[in-house]
């Protein structure tokens, strides 16, 4: 525990939803819900306007729509969120070499290590300057907590939300924590909170008064000792600059259970390719390929196969994932698929070496994991340090997955060449997910408000502009194309021809 509040915790406010409001002027001040839009979608983030209706993260999207029927429901745009996160993290690294990111929108900073603050006054000035710099660079707000420990800094940033700063002076920790709910403490979830409530403990002060021996008796030695230390405000964990990823994974939840084995194989191939792209983007390779299958009854199976050497070759990962799928019974239907790579390394073996050596199956002897809950973590199952593609957690980028033509062709090739049909196959209808970026040859950049019955509605606006006009087009309009997101803050707005 430090004698000065020089550990800073930054937590961006309703990050995904705030990015969407900043990039779509017509949504500022309105209820915005980001997540999977299909019937099995889950809320990733809700704006503060939406939270007034009771919408919160991890809520089923159907329930959110009932609570907030007039909200704007959008798919996640992770490429843009990562761009904004990179800007924010760069500002943090200007303060100190010791920055510990927890997610795209959250990090600890050791201000002493950067020489920018050694007392309360310096810490407060640094925190205020950081909030102003983030606002100038991104147009977004973040909440800052300052304290002598990581736990207290995180508690302080949560209390400061939204768009605030709270500094906890050393020596005042117990007084501040005492009236707070036990759920304020890190690691105290609904189950532990309910267990403590039944024992008559609802506040942190009551937790401290219970004493370590009583807490150990109630929840076990390790958890009980940890709870008691947190109740006293004690935490000596250092800020760690590097947190190695344990795995990289992607997954998709489907609107309708998949029964066709060819379609399932095609989806696994597509997920394997996405996983390898994320693996390469992170600068890693990996030895263990993991397949995750959630079946119609919510039971979840995992299979893994370990190669003799690390790889980032998409062909190797596809082949391993396909082999793992052969050992999984998909009778009855599949609601979720995931592919992950673990055992990460910073180098790769030669591709031929990785493919030619015999693989070591890990899931053949009882490695199935069957549970009765519809979990939402990445396929690697490694928690906060897993570099999982969160699209799956939010129910899929468009509420469901669409198999690419290449994947379908590859899957069909396993059964031989299909006979040519007498009539040419009609081109598949283009799908436009709500919230996705588009560009029109005449009207310029915009975003999809909705689509259906062969039509797509687009609002033409961009960051920094006034709320734009809405126009409707055919879904196959040749002048309308998908587009990359525009930066939130730039030299000026772009206009159409």
The residues annotated with a catalytic role in the active site are: 106
* 269 CB neighbour count, 10 Å cutoff: 25
Report DSSP state, residue 241.
S
8 A C-beta contact, residue 256 and residue 333: no
8 A C-beta contact, residue 420 and residue 458: no
Give CA–CA dist 95/335, Å, rounded: 45
Give CA–CA dist 219/349, Å, rounded: 46
Tokens of 144: 């800052």
8 A C-beta contact, residue 355 and residue 308: no
Give CA–CA dist 433/279, Å, rounded: 26
Distances 252 to 65, 283, 303, 434 between C-alpha atoms, Å = 21, 23, 17, 18
SS (H, E, C) 290-302: EEEEEECCCCEEE
Q: Is the peptide bond before 162 cis (omega within 30 degrees of 0)?
A: yes
- Give Cα 98 distance to the centre of its chain: 23
306 CB-side CA count, 13 A = 8
Give CA–CA dist 403/269, Å, rounded: 9
Rounded (5°) CA angle 402-245-97:
125
Give CA–CA dist 210/189, Å, rounded: 19
Backbone dihedral angles phi then psi of residue 289, each to the nearest 5 degrees: -100, 130
Closest CA to 480 of 462, 495, 463, 459: 459
Distances 315 to 182, 273, 304, 311, 415 between C-alpha atoms, Å = 49, 8, 16, 10, 19
258: left (phi over 0), alpha (psi -120 to 50) or beta: beta
Q: State the DSSP H helix or E strand holding residue 450, giving kind and residue range, or none if neither.
A: strand 444-452
- Give Cα 57 distance to the centre of its chain: 11
Backbone dihedral angles phi then psi of residue 392, each to the nearest 5 degrees: -60, -40
8 A C-beta contact, residue 205 and residue 232: no
> How many residues make up the chain in this entry?
497
Tokens of 429: 């209808």
């Amino acid at each position: 525990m430090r004698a000065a509040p020089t550990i800073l915790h930054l937590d961006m406010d309703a990050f995904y939803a705030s990015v969407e409001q900043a990039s779509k002027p017509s949504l500022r001040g309105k209820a915005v819900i980001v997540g999977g839009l299909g019937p099995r979608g889950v809320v990733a983030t809700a704006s503060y306007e939406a939270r007034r209706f009771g919408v919160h993260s991890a809520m089923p999207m159907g329930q959110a729509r009932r609570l907030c029927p007039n909200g704007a429901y959008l798919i996640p745009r992770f490429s843009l969120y990562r761009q904004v996160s990179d800007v924010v993290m760069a500002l943090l690294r200007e303060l100190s070499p010791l920055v510990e990111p927890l997610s795209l929108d959250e990090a600890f900073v050791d201000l002493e290590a950067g020489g920018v603050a050694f007392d309360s006054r310096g810490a407060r000035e640094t925190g205020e300057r950081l909030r102003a710099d983030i606002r100038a660079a991104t147009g977004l707000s973040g909440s800052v907590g300052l304290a002598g420990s990581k736990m207290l800094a995180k508690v302080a940033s949560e209390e400061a939300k939204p768009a605030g700063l709270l500094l906890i002076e050393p020596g005042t920790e117990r007084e501040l924590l005492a009236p707070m709910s036990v759920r304020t403490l890190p690691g105290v979830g609904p189950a532990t909170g309910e267990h403590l409530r039944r024992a008559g403990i609802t506040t942190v002060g009551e937790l401290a008064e219970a004493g370590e021996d009583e807490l150990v008796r109630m929840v076990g030695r390790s958890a009980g000792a940890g709870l008691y230390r947190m109740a006293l405000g004690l935490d000596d964990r250092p800020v760690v600059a590097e947190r190695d990823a344990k795995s990289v994974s992607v997954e998709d939840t489907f609107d309708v259970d998949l029964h066709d084995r060819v379609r399932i194989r095609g989806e696994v191939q597509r997920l394997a390719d996405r996983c390898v792209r994320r693996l390469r983007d992170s600068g890693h390779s990996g030895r263990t390929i993991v397949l995750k299958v959630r079946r119609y009854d919510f039971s979840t199976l995992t299979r893994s196969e370990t190669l003799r050497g690390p790889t980032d070759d998409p062909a190797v990962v596809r082949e391993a994932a396909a082999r793992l799928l052969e050992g999984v019974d998909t009778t009855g239907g599949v609601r979720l698929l995931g592919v992950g790579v673990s055992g990460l390394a910073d180098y790769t073996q030669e591709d031929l070496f990785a493919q030619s050596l015999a693989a070591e199956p890990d899931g053949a002897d009882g490695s199935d994991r069957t549970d009765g809950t519809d979990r939402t973590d990445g396929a690697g199952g490694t928690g906060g340090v897993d570099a999982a593609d969160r699209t799956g957690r939010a129910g899929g980028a468009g509420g469901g997955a669409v198999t690419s033509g290449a994947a379908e062709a590859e899957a069909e090739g396993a059964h031989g060449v299909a006979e040519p049909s007498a009539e040419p196959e009609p081109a598949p209808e283009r799908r436009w997910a709500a919230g996705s970026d588009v560009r029109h040859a005449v009207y310029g950049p915009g975003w999809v408000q909705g689509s259906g019955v062969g039509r797509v509605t687009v609002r033409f606006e961009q960051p920094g502009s006034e709320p734009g006009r809405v126009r409707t087009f055919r879904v196959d309009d040749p002048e309308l194309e998908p587009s990359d997101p525009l930066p939130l803050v730039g030299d000026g707005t772009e206009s159409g021809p």
